[in-house]
Amino acid sequence: MSKRVITISREFGSGGRAIGKMVADKLGVKFYDRELIQLVAKESGFALDFVEETGEYSSTSSLLYNLSVGGIYTQGAFSPETLPPADKVQILQNNIIRELAEKEPCVIVGRSADYILRERTDCLNVFIHADMAHKVKRAVELYNISPKSPEKILAKKDKARASQYRRYTDQVWGMADNYHLTLDSGVFGLEKCCDIIVALAR
């Protein structure tokens, strides 16, 4: 496989997680989504729900993120005891993502993994999106999103992800320049998106 690590960023309801799992299964590599959250929760001691929300929807300063990427935090310039819980989770999550990418071929969903691993040449960074109608249908059917005003809920989720991504990366979430490949799952369907990613990864 020419690309050892595949990162999947996705709009809420676009099926990005499902596509990522399909890709991992076809390539025979590890898949990290909730599995990554569990690793962070175990190592940090924080509740799983807290880690899940903080790791993708938090909005703290990007300063500590940039320091952690540069390795300053891990060299002891900052004491873990002085950091807010959200920052501790973010830095630990970043370190674990880098460790996983170094350890073995894998697929990683969300968590700004594309940016965290941006200096690696063996990564394929993918963004999955879809039109609102497709996302609403999937969200209502699979995630128990209320059918009364699903568009607002989906928009809020994506806004929070975009905000978190900008704060920690100083980049625009979903902008094509930040990824090697963007796919419309509403047009291609999940299986075709999977096939395209697998073909490129190989």
Question: Which pLDDT does position 80 carry in this prediction?
Answer: 54
Dihedral angle over CA of 193, 195, 197, 199, nearest 10: -150
The reported pLDDT for the residue numbered 60 is: 45
What are the domain boundaries of the chain?
Answer: 5-201
* CB contact at 8 A, 169 and 177: no
- Residues 16-37 have pLDDT tens digits of 999 999 999 999 999 999 888 8
Beta strands at 5-10 and 123-129: parallel, antiparallel or unpaired: parallel
pTM score: 0.82
Nearest Cα to Cα of residue 195 among 11, 4, 26: 26
Ramachandran region, residue 189 (left: φ > 0; alpha: ψ -120 to 50; beta: rest): left
Predicted pLDDT of residue 66: 45
Backbone angles phi, psi at 2, to 5 degrees: -75, -25
Domain 5-201 - what CATH class? alpha beta
Res 55: pLDDT: 65
Q: 41 — phi, psi (to 5°)?
A: -60, -45
Residue ranges in the chain whose pLDDT is less than 50: 60-78
